[in-house]
Chain A
Amino acid sequence: MLYAFLCCHDEALDSSWTKAQDDAVLAKRHKVTEKLAARGKLGPALRLMPTTAATTVRMGREPVVLDGPFAETKEAFLGLYLIDCDSLEEAIEIAKQIGRDEHATFEIRPVKQFYPSGLAS
């Protein structure tokens, strides 16, 4: 089963890291993800710019364009991993490994549909 790992993090905290701290966290995570990649379990991963760079389009009778993320929450959606896991248990275990020694939250969501090359016919 393919799972999406939504990385939810206190953004104020994330942006207060120095470059060195940021690099250290990425290197630490990389050790886990490269093993997953070697086993062919790692799908696309991405990291989003801060929510200050976000624009929200809210559809209604008149679409409204708003600056900022769709919801003002303490923890923001900052990145995503797609990982092929044998079970939810394994997915939880992987989340714990990726996030080791961090003050982070992962929302694990089973993927319903996945279009690796977009929807172009």
Chain B
Amino acid sequence: MTDIAWIDPVLRAARPQVVGALTRYFRDLDQAEEAFQESCLRALKNWPVNGPPRDPAAWLILVGRNVVLDDVRRRAKSAPLPADDALSDLGDAEADLAERLDNSHYRDDVLRLLFICCHPDLPATQQIALALRIVSGLTVKEIARAFLVGEAAMEQRITRAKSRVAHADVPFEAPGAAERAERLAAVAAMIYLIFNEGYSASGGTVHVRAPLCEEAIRLARLLLGLYPGEPEMMGLAALLLIQHARAAARLDADGSIVLLDDQDRRRWDRDLIAEGLALLEKAERHRRAGPYQLQAAIAGVHARAATAAATDWTEIDRLYGALERLQPSPVVTLNRAVAVSKVQGAAAALALIEPLEEPLSGYFHFFGVKGGLLMQLGRADEARVAFDRAIALAHTPAEAAHIRLHLDRLMQQSQPA
């Protein structure tokens, strides 16, 4: 058993490249996945005997392609030839395969594969599920568990998503620069969604779903490795790394949320933070600030502060201001308000968020922040109303429990024992 234990991670690591390349050959996701499965089975038989190939991904691609070609040829003897378009690209694929096996040529395959998953026709949850299944190779069971739904429901969701993208016209030629940038942006957004799904679990009792966060980081690193000069990809990877570094400190032993201010900073993962900050520093050299870089920079300010009191809130206020200009949104303003409350006081922050009540009327965090500010200002009754709304809007028991803590504190203040 132990002598083949090393194969599994190799297959897993090679998967995005292999399925990406096979999808280009066959222009069909299902066929690519089948071919990948078949080549994995052969690897499990062949590698323990012959040792690992020098380039496992190249080996798997060649074998996967040949398996399907042999199958097509075999069937061709007894059946009419398949339509030409089922075999497009195969002629020239043969010729340039040797060259394609260079690592740098995989990048468009991997990007395309991810891009297929984030097709705009698909709702976000389907995009994420599809990417986790096809690109990451998580089992339906694993994905279902992460989304807190039944396995059958998830199976159906993925099947439906697949059949939708099957008819989507994603061009298979190497993309031009503008097209590539567009794909990168869409894929980055999807990776961010995967991370968020793990970070803030929209429902259920498991608040931090680390595997989804780890998978998002893996994909972000993969993409950055393929496009090493993209500052926004550095920013995305940095953001995820620094956020994830706090995972162990975000929940207490009972599974309740611990706010940033109250977290035990010794439990932050310094390795992840250091890597995130290194990427951020690289990105900043390009002087092309973007939303991911700014968010990473904000996370970086928190990560650098030895204690909550030492946080450079002026810098955070400035960074949120820059983010507001790039991507105006009430949620960004709400976040800036927290920084403003630290720099200028709760009254200034409350004035800043008052116009946001309408656009954010269904947003848990708005009422949490509002209640907090009112509490600081000694307006206990109004604070209680805000906290009650927050509880009604909470997605997880941990969120609700956290707000209840504030409410209890208010109760104690109004009825001294």
From known contacts A21-B9, A52-B224, infer whether A72 and B278 are also in contact, taking CB-CB under 8 Å: no
User: Does A103 reach chain B (CB closer than 8 Å)?
Assistant: yes
Choose from B9, B13, B104, B279 the contact partner of A72 (Cβ within 8 Å).
B104
**Which of A13, A17, A67, A68 is the most central at the interface, judged by chain B CB atoms within 10 Å of its CB?**
A67
Binds A, one of B127-135, B214-222, B350-358: B214-222
Q: Give chain A residues whose Cβ lies under 8 Å from the Cβ of B12.
A: 16
User: Does A73 reach chain B (CB closer than 8 Å)?
Assistant: yes
User: Does B157 reach chain A (CB closer than 8 Å)?
Assistant: no
Choose from A51, A68, A72 the contact partner of B229 (Cβ within 8 Å).
A68
CA distance A54 to B285 in the complex (A): 13
CA distance A74 to B13 in the complex (A): 12
From known contacts A72-B104, A74-B55, infer whether A50 and B275 are also in contact, taking CB-CB under 8 Å: yes
Interface 0/1 of B5-22, CB less than 8 Å to A: 110011011100100000
Do B6 and A53 touch across chains, with their CB atoms under 8 A apart?
Answer: no
**Chain B: how many interface residues by the 8 Å CB criterion?**
31
Do A52 and B6 touch across chains, with their CB atoms under 8 A apart?
Answer: no
From known contacts A21-B9, A55-B282, A73-B103, infer whether A11 and B225 are also in contact, taking CB-CB under 8 Å: yes
CA distance A67 to B104 in the complex (A): 14
Q: Give chain A residues whose Cβ lies under 8 Å from the Cβ of B56.
A: 10
User: Does B334 reach chain A (CB closer than 8 Å)?
Assistant: no
From known contacts A16-B13, A50-B221, A52-B225, infer whether A101 and B2 are also in contact, taking CB-CB under 8 Å: yes
User: Does B52 reach chain A (CB closer than 8 Å)?
Assistant: yes
Do A16 and B9 touch across chains, with their CB atoms under 8 A apart?
Answer: yes
Interface 0/1 of A6-37, CB less than 8 Å to B: 00001111011111010000000000000000
From known contacts A21-B9, A74-B103, infer whether A103 and B225 are also in contact, taking CB-CB under 8 Å: no
Do B5 and A101 touch across chains, with their CB atoms under 8 A apart?
Answer: yes
Q: Give chain B residues whose Cβ lies under 8 Å from the Cβ of A13.
A: 9-10, 13
From known contacts A74-B103, A102-B6, A103-B52, infer whether A12 and B222 are also in contact, taking CB-CB under 8 Å: yes
Q: Give chain A residues whose Cβ lies under 8 Å from the Cβ of B2.
A: 101
User: Does A49 reach chain B (CB closer than 8 Å)?
Assistant: yes
CA distance A16 to B12 in the complex (A): 8
Q: Give chain B residues whose Cβ lies under 8 Å from the Cβ of A10.
A: 10, 13, 56
Can you name the residue of chain B whose Cβ is closest to the Cβ of A65?
A: B285
Do B279 and A52 touch across chains, with their CB atoms under 8 A apart?
Answer: yes
Q: Give chain A residues whose Cβ lies under 8 Å from the Cβ of B9.
A: 13, 16-17, 21, 103
Do A72 and B10 touch across chains, with their CB atoms under 8 A apart?
Answer: no
User: Does B274 reach chain A (CB closer than 8 Å)?
Assistant: yes
Do A51 and B225 touch across chains, with their CB atoms under 8 A apart?
Answer: yes
15 contacts between A and B (CB under 8 A): A10-B10, A15-B13, A16-B218, A17-B9, A19-B214, A21-B9, A52-B237, A53-B278, A53-B279, A67-B229, A67-B282, A68-B229, A74-B103, A103-B6, A103-B9
Chain B residues proximal to chain A, CB less than 8 Å: 2, 5-6, 9-10, 12-14, 17, 52, 54-56, 103-104, 214, 218, 221-222, 224-225, 228-229, 234, 237, 274-275, 278-279, 282, 285
* Shortest Cβ-Cβ A-B pairs, 6 listed: A68-B228, A13-B13, A12-B13, A67-B228, A67-B229, A52-B224
